[in-house]
Structure 1
Amino acid sequence: MTEAGGAGEVGRALERIGREDPRLSAFIEVWPERALADAGRAGGLPLAGLPFAVKGPTGIRSYAARRLIAAGGVPVGATSVPGPGTYWQTWGLGAHGPTVNPWRRDRTPGGSSAGSAAAVAADLVGLATGSDGAGSVRIPAAWCGVFGLKTTNGLLPSPDRTGLASAGVLTRSAAGAETYLRSVLDTYEPVPPALPLPAVYSPDLGYAEVDPEVAAVVRRAVARLVAAGVVRLVDRTCGLLDPREAWQAVRGGSSSPGAKEVRRANDTALDALFARVPLLLTPTTPNRPHGHDGPGGLFSTALTWAFNLSGHPAASVPAGFTADGCPVGLQLVAERGADAPLLAMARAAEDALPTVRP
């Protein structure tokens, strides 16, 4: 990309944000003057003026943002995160009010990387940073119909002292996430998968109550992967213990003997699974996007936070839509440290899952 091309791409992103964000409220701040100036200086660098967004008011200071900028990426603004006044995190509050799900204005985009997912889904930017402590990248990716990656815990620096939160990214596809990893890691080696991949499919991880229509969308997506020769399902399942209390104990800074036992048992089960197969498939969330008044008693994190405790990399790939027009995500989980192979698996899955838009 030429210097003029980088500035042009940034200008187009700013124009789209200016036109669409009053409706979506995906951003809390936009930086047009800085972005255009940075784009003019980005020529010759690997990202050459690629516009991207950062999560929340502190996102510009994150390790990932600094590496993206050093590679020639241009931050155009900070995206919305949950605002004050509620304990639930699957929503966002932008400069123009609650963040809107681009597919359903009456539904939340998920969170806490709410604005990042909405901005990518609405084509305001092609890449936005996120962080994932319980599903905060994967849930909004699933509910906005985009790709979301939670990296292996500890792969990238994180300010979270509990060790639960990992850096992540929201993009239109796994290829965009590869661009992210190439920029933020010192070395990145793609690992082409040998298809079909042996995989285990678990509809509920042994404990979650999944919306029947969400389960049906994911089941059809898995069947398409099998029919396309992308995966070969192994006659095994993945039954874990519900990690809710263990996650809450770690987040709260204390851990009971029961919480430690849940974590140990789940780690043992996952270690045994990934010793036999490279891929685990599940729904990303047990429910579809809820309204702006909250999720009620549902835990949208039920199928994601197990892997924040265990540390495994996990991604959400668009799987399809429910009959009422809500996107559904398919979660792919790989062995710890297998972030590059996971992205290659995700690219193969995307190729076999052409999304039928409602």
Structure 2
Amino acid sequence: MEEALERIARLDPELCAFIEVWGEAAAAQETSPGLPLAGLPFGVKGPSGIRSYSARRLIAAGAVPVGSTAVPGPGTYWQTWGLGAHGRTVNPWRPDRTPGGSSAGSAVAVAAGMVDLATGSDGAGSVRIPAAWCGVFGLKTTNGLLPSPDRTGLASAGVLTRTAADARAYLACVLDGYAEVPLQFPLRARWSPDLGFARTDPEVESVTLAAVERLVSAGIVRLDERPFALLDPKDAWQAVRRGEPSAGSAPRGENDRRLGALFAQAQLLLTPATPNRPHGHEGPGELYSTALTWAFNLSGHPAASIPAGFTSDGCPVGLQLVAARDADVSLLEMAVAMERHTIMVRP
């Protein structure tokens, strides 16, 4: 705890990952040494994060919240941004770029080593995008698996950690009856650089494809080489968000059919986590950073981002892993096996 609070005090004035830091309360917290996460410092997403189901379960397991992490500030129409107590949240790899969002501060706090674990929530990619852009692991759980205040059903609870293995503690605490799932390799997988509609940056595609090829060479995955595409979920997602789910029912239903057919034959769908690299603090322009993530908020599938490498200008890139509904534990174990072979090498 002392080390976490020292790092926050030293690094946060520059990185702006926290809205509030509860240093005195955290340092004074006494937990039973018999609890599984006794004394583990963690961050909670946003001002209301401490009331989330996940935070309450982590606290019950002995973990200690050290502060609330930055989310987009007022008047910011894009969500790949954060506003902390000291100013705008910056990417720890490229301070001139955003860290992604809306779980911006959670990703930065983990990437900078201020905490080992931070909670997030993901309604369109809000865990996976900052995980990808900050070079950490991020997991979106199956929609509805854990309680969520989002009435649209798009958002689900998630977590950000340095490695996939570190996220086991989170799932073990928030899921009743958690048990690790043995895997047989190679995993059956499909690859899509753009899901058939996204304008993926060629270098982002190259970095993620190279990571997939390393996984194939290592015997972790076996690719079905057939192309895979979905219908662009933009209009359907926005309709659900407006409270008009019937307006997007046709493309949503078709995507559900295609994903059902895919997961009847494969264990994983692999894509870049984002079609773009981290953008500047002035905003993303016309690009949708959510283009490759929000389809799975509509469909409800669990999805994760693992570090895949860097672009030539020093920006982290994430590889997205999508699994069948309710296969959260299996997905996490797949990520643990895979991240050993997607080592990040900075140019």
What TM-score do you get using the length of structure 2 for normalisation? Answer: 0.99
Match of 1:30 among 6, 21, 44: 21
**C-alpha separation in 2, matches of 1:237 and 1:178:** 32
For the Cα contact (< 8 Å) 1:246–1:255, is it kept in 2?
A: yes
For the Cα contact (< 8 Å) 1:25–1:98, is it kept in 2?
A: yes
Match of 1:111 among 77, 101, 107: 101
Alignment partner of 1:180 is 2:164: no
Match of 1:50 among 40, 63, 80: 40
Q: CA offsets, 1:242-272, max 9 Å, x none?
A: 0000000000111354x11000000000000
Partner of 1:280: 269
Partner of 2:78: 88
**C-alpha separation in 1, matches of 2:20 and 2:346:** 30
Match of 1:121 among 107, 111, 120: 111
> Sequence identity of aligned pairs in percent?
73
State the shift of 1:357 in Å.
2.9
Alignment partner of 1:164 is 2:154: yes
- Determine helix, strand or coil for the equivalent of 1:352: coil
Amino acid at match of 1:206: G
Q: 1:1-358 counterparts in 2 under 5 A?
A: 10-38=1-29, 40-257=30-247, 259-358=248-347
State the shift of 1:199 in Å.
0.4
Amino acid at match of 2:19: I
Amino acid at match of 1:211: D
Gap regions ≥5 residues in structure 1:
1-9
- Determine helix, strand or coil for the equivalent of 2:74: coil
Amino acid at match of 1:13: A
Amino acid at match of 1:152: T
- Determine helix, strand or coil for the equivalent of 2:255: helix
Runs of 4+ in structure 1 deviating by more than 6 angstroms, as ranges, are none
**C-alpha separation in 1, matches of 2:4 and 2:225:** 47
**C-alpha separation in 2, matches of 1:341 and 1:153:** 16
- Determine helix, strand or coil for the equivalent of 2:118: strand
State the shift of 1:175 in Å.
1.0
**C-alpha separation in 2, matches of 1:272 and 1:161:** 28
Q: CA offsets, 1:27-85, max 9 Å, x none?
A: 000001111122x3242211011110000000000000000000000000000000012
Larger CA deviation: 64-73 vs 188-197: 188-197
**C-alpha separation in 2, matches of 1:229 and 1:36:** 46
Amino acid at match of 1:98: R
State the shift of 1:174 in Å.
0.8
For the Cα contact (< 8 Å) 2:191–2:225, is it kept in 1?
A: no
**C-alpha separation in 2, matches of 1:254 and 1:234:** 36
- Determine helix, strand or coil for the equivalent of 2:320: strand
**C-alpha separation in 1, matches of 2:225 and 2:159:** 32
What TM-score do you get using the length of structure 1 for normalisation? Answer: 0.96
Aligned CA RMSD, in angstroms, stands at 0.8
State the shift of 1:273 in Å.
0.2
State the shift of 1:145 in Å.
0.3
**C-alpha separation in 1, matches of 2:3 and 2:198:** 43
Q: CA offsets, 1:175-214, max 9 Å, x none?
A: 1111100011111111121111110001111111100010
- Determine helix, strand or coil for the equivalent of 2:291: coil
For the Cα contact (< 8 Å) 1:55–1:78, is it kept in 2?
A: yes
